[in-house]
Structure formats: C-alpha cells, structure tokens
Structure 1
Amino acid sequence: MKINIVIVLLVLFVSCKGTSQEKEIVTENKVEQKKEFVVQKTNAEWKKELTDAQYYVLREAATENPFTSELLKNNKKGTYVCAACATPLFKSYTKFDSGTGWPSFYEEIEGNVAYDVDYKIGYKRTEEHCATCGGHLGHVFEDGPEPTGLRHCINGVALNFVPAE
C-alpha cells in the first residue's frame, strides 16, 4: 500500500509542469550556431579582468547563490551595466523585488540583451546574455509584473551599477 502511494506521488510530482517558460520568447525555433560578439577575448584575458565569481557566472554560465548580491537591495537611480564590458543592460526604474534572491527587472535596454534557450537543468529556459560580449546574465521568465509581464532574473555579480548624475 505504501509503495502504491509513493508511486502515485512520484507520478504526480513528475507530471507537474510550470508554464512560465512556454510562451513565445522561449518557444521560437532557433538554429544552434556560434555567436560572434563585438567584444571577444580569450579565457585567459577574461580571467585577468574579472573576479573569480564574475568569471564563473559570466563566462561559464554559473548561478550565484540567492540573496548574496550587494545589488539586490539597491534602490538608487541609475543604470545596471555588464560587469565584463560595461554595456548598459537595465535601467533602475525597471527593477523590482521578485522575492527570488536575485536582482530582477521587468524590462531590458532593447538591443543590449540577447537570448538563447538552454536545457541545463532538464527543461527549457530562456537564458539571457550580454549582446556585446556574450556574458551570461541569468534567465528571463514570463511571470513578472506589468507592463511587460517579464522577470529578468539576473546574477548580481554579472552587473555593475552606475548611479545617475
């Protein structure tokens, strides 16, 4: 009897499926190809310029631990830029507290953030990276606030903050 209950619970658990990644931003068919970026450096050059944490996230597509970013509670006016190449990525007025533990934004600076689909954790997600240097930023989900309905969930270590003058 207990085995039957466990099997039923496992089937229910496996069949549960989130819908935040099923909309058009992630379902577009894309051909896998090598991307060319304006800023291109060798791994050795990136390692010299970035901290270990920045390199791990930006160049190896890692994820920083939640609630560890100094930028998480930053409420100042300004612009969030790529920590690798200083490309402006997000305006501070689009930042919101998503409760996830990572800086979140409802809108990117158009043209400065690029997207790919990744399956690294077993299901489809929309990965975000800097359109200038290709650095991994985080992921975008379609469960954010108005006006866009998007939640750009970004590793704080991938960003630098430039205060408004």
Structure 2
Amino acid sequence: MEPNYAKSQDAIARLTPEQFRVTQESGTEPAFANPYWDNKESGIYVDIVSGEPLFASVDKYDSRTGWPSFTKPIVDDNVVEREDRSHGMNRVEVRSTHADSHLGHLFNDGPREKGGRRYCLNSAALRFVPLADLEREGYGEFRELFGTHPAGGPEEPRSA
C-alpha cells in the first residue's frame, strides 16, 4: 500500500512558529543557526508536514552556506521546482510535492562531480530520521542507500 503523504490540519497545528513560517509562508531560517546545517549522522530527511522522503545524508555536503545542502533528492517525484522571482531575484524554489511545503532553493553551484546542483534547504522544513530508525519509522526501503555496513558505511569526503 502506498503511503499517504498528504498535508493535514493536524500536522500543520503541530508545527512550531518557525516551521510554519518556513513551510507555509515560504520563509528562510538564519544560516548557521539551524539544527541540520552541520548534521553528519547517517539517515534521511523527510518533509516536516507530510513525512514524504526527500533527501539522504549520502547526498549531503558542506556547502559552507550555513544551511543543509544536497546534490539530489532521493525520490525525484517528491520534490517540485518552481520559478521564484521574490526579493528582486530570479531563483528556483524547491517545494515538497504532496504537502506543498516550502523547502528552500536550488542553485547550480554544487559539486561538479555530483551534477553541479545544490539543494539549499531550511532545517525547519525537515525532520531527520536516523539510519537505525528507518525500518521502525516506515522508511526501510531507503536502507539500501547506505550500503551494508551497520552504520551506513564511512561518510565520503564532501566538497563545495
């Protein structure tokens, strides 16, 4: 059975004011003052509203921007890219497909050897699911992203 990742009023009601501002009002949290910008633990990041799986630590790298940055989503269909001309800039906004949560922005200055894309996200839009909890939380299908080592294997060096 396919999981239901729809946005619910209950999920919205559980958001902190910062999570609401970021996900529902397209806000941006401060750089270097958010929980996941320097998280090096193995696991996946899911939408804080719907739980839809978005990004994995194996695709995370230190972009030196102060926000969690990834080279690609783990499920392409769970991420939507939209033109964003707010604040006098022309950018690509990244939103979750099912909950329509604002996640952050996409830039073309990521690691060239990984495709050159940088998904620059807000920690407030994400919930981290550690590798050890994937099966228990219903994300066991993503375990294969981390190889066979119990801890997910050694983290490969990241470059900006």
Moved over 6 A (4+): none
Map 1:113-124 to 2 at 5 A. 113-124=79-90
Q: How many residues align?
A: 126
Partner residue in 1 for 2:77:
111
Q: What root-mean-square deviation, in Å, do the aligned CA atoms of Structure 1 and Structure 2 show? A: 1.4
AA paired with 2:107?
F
Distance (whole Å) between structure 2 residues aligned to residue 47 and residue 41 of structure 1: 6
Q: 1:105 Cα deviation (Å)?
A: 0.4
Q: 1:123 Cα deviation (Å)?
A: 2.3
Q: 1:46 Cα deviation (Å)?
A: 5.4
Residue among 82, 106, 119 paired with 1:152: 119
Whether 1:127 and 2:80 are equivalent positions in the alignment is no
Partner residue in 2 for 1:139:
105
5+ residue gaps, structure 1: 1-37
Whether 1:77 and 2:42 are equivalent positions in the alignment is yes
Show CA shifts across 1:62-91 (max 9, x none): 000111111111111110111111111001
5+ residue gaps, structure 2: 133-160
Q: 1:81 is paired with a residue of what secondary structure?
A: strand
% same residue? 40
Partner residue in 2 for 1:60:
25
Distance (whole Å) between structure 2 residues aligned to residue 147 and residue 40 of structure 1: 32
Partner residue in 2 for 1:39:
6
